[in-house]
Structure 1
Amino acid sequence: MGQILKRLQELDPVCRGLGGTSSSQNSNGFPDLSQLPPELGLAILSHLNPTDLCLAACVWQNLANDELLWHDLCKSVWGYVSVYSHCRHAIGFSYRRMFLQLDEASLTFNGDPFEGVEYLIHYELVDDEPLEIAKFLHTAKNLLPEKKREFLDRRRDVLAHLLKLQNFERMFLPNALRQFFAEISAPNDRDGFLAEVIDRFSDQFTSCNPSLGLSKDAVFLLCYSLIMLSVDLSSPHVKNKMSKREFIKNTCRATAEVSNDLAGHLYDNIYLIGHVAPQTS
């Protein structure tokens, strides 16, 4: 109860201002939520995390097990799972039980991503379709990026759908790369998987920014140039760092679609902000 009381103490001024009285407070000065209007009790409990909400259920079982609270918790962590569209009319369905299953699935995924996806499919949380799996990976907030990369390396069909879900509209190319590689760790080696990732990324980036005036091939070359520049500028083993003039010269020579100004802005972004694809494992 220590965590619950601490959280309620933070909310105590609100409770006092919204109807808490000495008759509805316990000996510790905290209101008995069962004595408050149900909507107020739910509003207070909505500030708790899943662990604290389970603790609260030991005292206020009906309130803390309310489906609305657990529905909101599920959506806050897993933005999309197939079961959301299937569960409305299921007999005996419980968002609290689903939260625990999704939490177990995420923990399993972060240990072995393939077992994690098998768990999701076995318990009918996610449909066994590439797009449905991609939507889950894209919206889940508690999955390790390096485990996503491990899974997608073998499930290129899911990778294709995942790239289509990305929104890079009006984003500067290095920032779009950072956003994507924050969701999915960049491959450790410059192998075929990295090439496919960059190829699909370039296709989606140009689709999101048709007015940019760059072809998919130009974006593809720029992505590799930015990754190599990032390594060059961030690695302590590289003593002679590439200069801005050298980068502009090499980039504009590789593709005539890139102006000197654009190449210069790209260099400045990497120099000031850092690596577009930092390794996480």
Structure 2
Amino acid sequence: MNFRDAYSDDYNSEDTEKIEIKKLEVEEEPLDPKIAEAIFCFNKKWKTGISLLESEGIITQDKKSIANFLFKYNDKLSKSELGEILAGKDDNVELLIEFTELLNFTGVSFAEGLRSYLTKFLLPGEAQKISRMMEVFAGKYLKDNPTTFPDTDCAFILAFALIMLNTDAHNPAILEKDKMTKAQFVQNSRGTWHGNDPPQELLEMLYDEIVGNEIQMKTKGDPDKKGWVKSIKGSLFEQNKRWLCLIGNELRWYKNPTRGRPEDPEKPLGYIKLEYVMVNEMDDRFCISSTLPKNIEFYVYEEKKPVAVTTLQFEITCESAAQVEHWAAAVRKNVTFEVEPEFDPKHYKKPKSKAKNFKKTKKF
């Protein structure tokens, strides 16, 4: 497969489904108590968790044994601790290589392969560690798609360039006029393939993929997804152009860009809990509604206090259909059904809105 095959018109987001665990299947059965305890310890400090796993005989000191466990229970392990253990020290990348070998990038576009890879762990902040991880990724991607790049170095340089582009394109602190253009990205990449230029078609396609759909590279405490939307609406309540932050099973909106951390000066204008809800997509918006036979509830801050508002569905309008798809997918992933719902169908009555101030549509 060459890059034209990987970026053909037939390519779509469904290709990411090809990125699957090659050798392992995640078990759906309840966790063994020993494994559950080890995961709990790992998420606080990876060294403690690994030591417990070794002492219980669940893994050995062999790097392949450790990698298999980290991959099998990836969705239950702390991404920040995973980033620390996989990044390794100095040039020790044996564990990272074994872990990366469990991914299959065959037939997947370079940008989508990188996007999937970076969902498995939290990328460390140190440039040296990022460099090691990108080098290992580049090697595995080229191994699975041997005709896409001249060699690993060329793939590595482009992977690093995409991370820089992703930061530039999606950092709200960088003004639109200062962001890298497609022409600048192509120009900056010239001569990086051992003195030759990468195919312009490839560079332009990669630019469009990254700018159109952010690679979510979180640091500790960052939201799962963030960005501008055109408007939000529920019942008679409506606000234009808001900054959304998806944090766990809560969707919050703000007036200005923020990471949504408690210490940030920008405070939320409101939020909606993603418990027992479903997400439906329309042309330019996605809607959140309850899976229970009742209205959904969201909260708006009035004088620093949350006021409950009930509505049949909560609508979020986006700038494009692609943005709708990306947001809807992220929100669905964070919906929870763990808390016992406070609802008795036998005594159900249509809830009344507690928000007395929303008799008329609010627009800002």
Which TM-score applies when normalising by structure 2?
0.49
Deviations along 1:14-58, one digit per CA (max 9) or x if unpaired, are xxxxxxxxxxxxxxxxxxxxxxxxxxxxxxxxxxxxxxxxxxxxx
- Asked if 2 retains the 8 angstrom alpha-carbon contact of 1:226 and 1:276, the reply is no
Partner of 2:27: 75
**2:62 pairs with 129, 142, 148, which one?**
129
- Pairwise CA distance, 1:280: 4.6
Unaligned runs of 5+ in 2: 1-24, 222-364
**2:179 pairs with 211, 226, 241, which one?**
241
Moved over 6 A (4+): none
- Pairwise CA distance, 1:189: 2.4
- Pairwise CA distance, 1:268: 0.1
> What residue identity is the alignment partner of 1:253?
G
Matched, 1:103 2:36: yes
Higher strand share: 2
> What residue identity is the alignment partner of 2:84?
E
- Pairwise CA distance, 1:275: 2.6
Matched, 1:165 2:102: yes
Give 1:50-89 correspondences, 5 Å limit.
75-76=27-28
- Asked if 2 retains the 8 angstrom alpha-carbon contact of 1:186 and 1:278, the reply is yes
- Asked if 1 retains the 8 angstrom alpha-carbon contact of 2:87 and 2:132, the reply is no
Matched, 1:251 2:189: yes
- Pairwise CA distance, 1:125: 1.0
- Asked if 2 retains the 8 angstrom alpha-carbon contact of 1:149 and 1:187, the reply is yes
Provide closer, same or farther for how the CA distance between residues 278 and 266 of structure 1 changes in structure 2, counting only shifts above 3 A: farther
- Pairwise CA distance, 1:170: 1.1
Partner of 2:256: none
Q: Identity of counterpart residues, as a percentage?
A: 22
- Pairwise CA distance, 1:74: 8.0
Partner of 1:273: 213
> What residue identity is the alignment partner of 2:82?
K
> What residue identity is the alignment partner of 1:131?
K
Deviations along 1:145-174, one digit per CA (max 9) or x if unpaired, are 111111223363311211222211111111
**2:129 pairs with 190, 193, 199, which one?**
193
Partner of 1:150: 84
**Larger Cα Rg: Structure 1 or Structure 2?**
1
- Asked if 1 retains the 8 angstrom alpha-carbon contact of 2:123 and 2:218, the reply is yes
- Pairwise CA distance, 1:204: 0.6
Measure, in 2, the Cα distance between the counterparts of 1:149 and 1:181.
10
Deviations along 1:225-271, one digit per CA (max 9) or x if unpaired, are 10000010111222200001111121133232521110000000011
Aligned CA-pair RMSD:
2.1
Measure, in 1, the Cα distance between the counterparts of 2:220 and 2:183.
30
- Asked if 2 retains the 8 angstrom alpha-carbon contact of 1:232 and 1:241, the reply is yes
Q: Equivalent residue of 1:124, what SS?
A: coil
Partner of 2:325: none
> What residue identity is the alignment partner of 1:103?
A
Matched, 1:261 2:213: no
- Pairwise CA distance, 1:214: 3.5
Q: Equivalent residue of 2:58, what SS?
A: coil
Partner of 1:184: 121
Measure, in 2, the Cα distance between the counterparts of 1:211 and 1:268.
22
Measure, in 2, the Cα distance between the counterparts of 1:111 and 1:278.
18
Higher helix share: 1
Q: Equivalent residue of 2:60, what SS?
A: coil
Size of the alignment, in residue pairs? 189
Measure, in 2, the Cα distance between the counterparts of 1:146 and 1:110.
8
